[in-house]
């Protein structure tokens, strides 16, 4: 990379690999963070997670909730730099939106995000091989600056979905070969990809044609973003402390006590060395329970809801978060939904050992008598927390065994119903309550969907389906609460805590923010001289 002033270069380490930058196939946070610098979608989300204009300057939604008409900006062009960028200006049109959405919907693409439109549009009407579109199709370019999306049924979270990186708009000239495009991305974002040596280094450079401004000044302010791929997080933390990186994300057990007090405060010795942001993060940490009555698995007694409720009441979540997370989290005393999406304060379980014993008796296991040992599967980094939970279950008479597996193996076994109880995380794919409630809809049974517990309840399914189509915010919240109350009665999961993200950044870094989605937004960042 050519020489650039240090105050114009933003440096950070990524301890997870980036395998593709094709928005149709990205999965991990590490990939999504880079894609958010390279691409734009029709809409964006503001700091309150509400949709705001991006490539679309405005839109209208029909009264029946089926037709979305987007008016596109006419001043946006694709990257002219990088390995495969356009040599001349190539302006974004509605046909590019049609192409991008067709691409992730086309079965031949086999996109990881095909679910976004799968059950919401008339797939049979799409002419995948045609370059033009018609009004009879779900994706239609009415003219260069007007794109129309037609749904087959109302879907209240559609705008939130359109704001994700998966719905990024790409040019048809480069998207046909997904293997090449994933390594040589072309988008409209504030930065373009300049250099990439996998698992070693990546360099993004400023897009001089970027369309957004702040107070009359063009974004982004930075000239470059340098990303290292150092796997050892503790080493990366020490390099951040030494000033080699501008930003450090998250903490882990090996150094959390070095950085944080048990109350979740930065220790005194670091308070003036750098700045930090601690925010609620849309990630629910939980224990999932396999409860398929038609396929009871290794522990059929867990099909008894009274036993599951007893296990929920037996865990002191406040103490758990303080001891194992240094208060970097919110005790999971509510429902599966983080509090950003609900005001239902009675949807979860507080620590109540007497209630636990009461429900254990109702389950037919007074003081745990007659209950077979329960196997809990976890990764090694959560072992201490699971041992802690095991102790409190023993206090009410429930014996358990701990099984340690890799994350990949847990996902494989979980998806195929081979685990009794497992520790899991559910990070929101998009900012809407539906993204959490979908985990308990019977139409989403794993391995094809995210209902890993195989929870099935006709009343829940009905309320969930009504919630999807409800466009009135108040009535929609009522549906959400009904779903939550059903989940409390059935207890298919044990919510442990709602996560918080922590970001550390140098004192000379300014306009660096975070929100509940834990996005990385660098277009506003500025650095001053030390």
pLDDT of 52 = 97
The token pair at 246 is: 């501008």
Q: What are phi and psi of 499, to 5 degrees?
A: -70, 160
Task: Evaluate whether residue 357 is within a structural domain.
Answer: yes
pLDDT of 169 = 98
**What average pLDDT score do residues 317-333 get?**
95
Residue 314 scores a pLDDT above 90:
yes
Task: Evaluate whether residue 519 is within a structural domain.
Answer: no
pLDDT of 1 = 46
Residue where the block lists tokens 């103490």: 319
285 and 414 share one domain: yes
Give residue-wise pLDDT tens across range 255-298.
888 899 988 889 999 989 999 999 999 999 999 999 998 887 77
Task: Evaluate whether residue 164 is within a structural domain.
Answer: yes
DSSP class of 188: S
Q: For the packed helices 305-313 and 353-362, what is the interaxial angle rounded to 10 degrees?
A: 170
pLDDT of 294 = 81
Residues forming a β-bridge with 56: 72
Residues with Cβ within 8 Å of residue 63, at least 6 apart in sequence = none
Domain termination residue (choose one: 154, 172, 187) = 187
177 and 287 share one domain: no
The enclosing H or E element of 202 equals strand 201-206
Task: Evaluate whether residue 58 is within a structural domain.
Answer: yes
Q: What are phi and psi of 457, to 5 degrees?
A: -150, 120
The token pair at 93 is: 């049109």
Q: What whole-number distance in Å separates Cα of residue 192 and Cα of residue 360?
A: 58
Give residue-wise pLDDT tens across range 7-21.
999 999 999 999 999
Do 49 and 66 form a contact (C-beta atoms < 8 A)?
no
Count of CB atoms situated within 10 Å of the CB of 510: 14
- Of the candidates 212, 179, 210, 200, the residue with the CA atom closest to the CA atom of residue 84: 179
326 and 455 share one domain: yes
323 and 434 share one domain: yes
Give residue-wise pLDDT tens across range 369-405.
999 999 999 999 999 999 999 999 999 999 999 999 9
488 and 355 share one domain: yes
pTM for the model: 0.89
Do 120 and 67 form a contact (C-beta atoms < 8 A)?
no
Task: Evaluate whether residue 96 is within a structural domain.
Answer: yes
CATH number at residue 103: 3.90.76.10
Percentage above 90 pLDDT, the chain: 81
Structural domains counted in the chain:
2
Task: Evaluate whether residue 45 is within a structural domain.
Answer: yes
323 and 449 share one domain: yes
Residue where the block lists tokens 């610098």: 37
Which residues constitute the domain of residue 99? 16-187
Task: Evaluate whether residue 518 is within a structural domain.
Answer: no
Half-sphere CA count of 217, side-chain side, radius 13 A: 9
**What average pLDDT score do residues 160-164 get?**
95
Domain termination residue (choose one: 187, 214, 232) = 187
User: How far, rounded to the nearest angstrom, does the alpha carbon of residue 17 sit from its chain's CA centroid?
Assistant: 17
- Of the candidates 442, 454, 486, 494, the residue with the CA atom closest to the CA atom of residue 294: 454
Q: What whole-number distance in Å separates Cα of residue 285 and Cα of residue 331?
A: 10
Residues forming a β-bridge with 404: 378
**What average pLDDT score do residues 21-50 get?**
94
pLDDT of 3 = 64
Residues with Cβ within 8 Å of residue 309, at least 6 apart in sequence = 349, 359, 491
Q: What whole-number distance in Å separates Cα of residue 359 and Cα of residue 366?
A: 9
pLDDT of 2 = 55
Half-sphere CA count of 260, side-chain side, radius 13 A: 26
The enclosing H or E element of 95 equals helix 94-105
Domain termination residue (choose one: 164, 187, 210) = 187
CATH number at residue 396: 3.10.105.10
Task: Evaluate whether residue 276 is within a structural domain.
Answer: no
Residues with Cβ within 8 Å of residue 482, at least 6 apart in sequence = 463
Give residue-wise pLDDT tens across range 60-88.
999 999 999 999 999 999 999 766 668 88
354 and 486 share one domain: yes
pLDDT of 295 = 81
Q: What whole-number distance in Å separates Cα of residue 290 and Cα of residue 422?
A: 9
């Amino acid at each position: 990379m050519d020489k650039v002033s240090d105050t114009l270069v933003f440096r950070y380490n990524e301890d997870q690999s980036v395998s593709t930058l094709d928005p149709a196939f990205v999965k991990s946070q590490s990939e999504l963070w880079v894609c958010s610098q390279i691409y734009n979608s029709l809409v964006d989300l503001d700091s309150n997670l509400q949709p705001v204009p991006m490539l679309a300057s405005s839109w209208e939604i029909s009264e029946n909730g089926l037709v979305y008409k987007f008016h596109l900006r006419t001043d946006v062009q694709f990257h002219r730099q990088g390995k495969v960028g356009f040599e001349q200006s190539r302006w974004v049109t509605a046909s590019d939106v049609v192409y991008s959405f067709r691409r992730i919907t086309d079965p031949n693409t086999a996109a990881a995000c095909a679910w976004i439109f799968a059950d919401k549009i008339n797939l049979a009407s799409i002419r995948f091989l045609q370059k033009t579109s018609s009004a009879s199709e779900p994706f239609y370019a009415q003219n260069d600056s007007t794109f129309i999306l037609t749904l087959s049924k109302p879907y209240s979270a559609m705008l939130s979905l359109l704001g994700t990186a998966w719905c990024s708009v790409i040019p048809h000239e480069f998207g046909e070969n997904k293997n090449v495009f994933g390594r040589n991305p072309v988008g409209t974002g504030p930065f373009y990809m300049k250099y990439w040596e996998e698992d070693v280094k990546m360099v993004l450079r400023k897009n001089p044609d970027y369309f957004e401004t702040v107070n009359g000044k063009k974004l982004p302010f930075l000239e470059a973003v340098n990303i290292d791929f150092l796997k050892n997080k503790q080493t990366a933390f020490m390099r951040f402390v030494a000033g080699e990186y501008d930003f450090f994300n998250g903490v882990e057990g090996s150094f959390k006590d070095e950085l944080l007090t048990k109350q979740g405060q930065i220790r005194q010795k670091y308070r003036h060395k750098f700045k930090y942001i601690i925010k609620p993060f849309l990630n629910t940490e939980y224990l999932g329970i396999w409860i398929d009555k038609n396929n009871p698995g290794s522990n059929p007694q867990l099909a008894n809801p009274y036993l599951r409720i007893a296990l929920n009441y037996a865990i002191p979540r406040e103490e758990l978060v303080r001891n194992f997370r240094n208060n970097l989290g919110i005790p999971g005393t509510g429902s599966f939904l983080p509090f950003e999406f609900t005001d239902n304060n009675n949807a979860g379980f507080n620590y109540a050992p007497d209630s636990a014993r009461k429900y254990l008796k109702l389950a037919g296991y007074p003081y745990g008598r007659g209950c077979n040992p329960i196997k809990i599967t976890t990764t090694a980094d959560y072992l201490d927390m699971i041992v802690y939970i095991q102790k409190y279950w023993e206090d009410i008479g429930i014996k358990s065994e701990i099984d340690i597996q890799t994350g990949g193996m847990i996902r494989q076994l979980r998806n195929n119903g081979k685990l009794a109880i497992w520790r899991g995380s559910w990070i929101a794919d998009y900012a809407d309550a539906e993204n959490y409630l979908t985990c308990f809809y019977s139409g989403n049974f794993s391995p094809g969907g995210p209902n890993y517990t195989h929870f099935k309840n006709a009343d829940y399914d009905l309320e969930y389906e009504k919630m999807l189509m409800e466009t009135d915010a108040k009535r929609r919240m009522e549906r959400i609460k009904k779903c939550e109350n059903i989940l409390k009665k059935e207890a298919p999961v044990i919510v442990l805590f709602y996560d918080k993200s922590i970001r550390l950044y140098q004192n000379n870094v300014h306009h660096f923010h975070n929100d509940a989605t834990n996005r990385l937004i660098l277009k506003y960042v500025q650095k001053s001289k030390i």
